[in-house]
Amino acid sequence: MRQRRGFTLIELLLVVVIMGILMAVLIPRWANSRERAFLAAMKSDLRNLATAEEAYFYDYATYAVSVTDLVSYTPSTGNSVAINEATMGGWSATASRPGLAKQCYLFVGNVSPVGGATTEGQVTCQ
């Protein structure tokens, strides 16, 4: 008798079922970790903005009213950062990313809190 080589249909179906189970578990986890990475990038952008705003204040004795005024600051690729309010006493800003429902907020000094930010100098995302 000749010896057969290859896989049986049952073996192939078993592999497909196992791959389906793994995909069902891993895809939601991957999407969740991706969102966390985007949020971390937005938080980092706002912290870097705070540093750039303080450097600007040191040079001009006022806070920058636009991100374009801060030549030493560039947000992460894909993120959008906007300064909502800037006065002599403080500033507030928002970071967002297209396709992501959450936004991050930060305010410093004597300005109205923006979004979900309730503590001065602390980045809040919601």
Q: Is residue 4 part of a domain?
A: no
Q: Is residue 40 part of a domain?
A: yes
Domain interval for residue 69? 9-125
Q: Is residue 67 part of a domain?
A: yes
Lowest average pLDDT, out of 7-11, 29-33, 56-60, goes to 29-33
Q: Is residue 2 part of a domain?
A: no
pLDDT at res. 1: 60
Nearest to 84 by CA among 54, 111, 120: 111
Lowest average pLDDT, out of 17-31, 45-59, 104-118, goes to 17-31
Q: Is residue 54 part of a domain?
A: yes
| Overall domain count for the chain | 1
Mean pLDDT of 74-96: 96
**Can you tell me the distance from the alpha carbon of 48 to that of 109, in angstroms, rounded to the nearest whole number?**
16
**Can you tell me the distance from the alpha carbon of 11 to that of 122, in angstroms, rounded to the nearest whole number?**
55
pTM of the model: 0.79
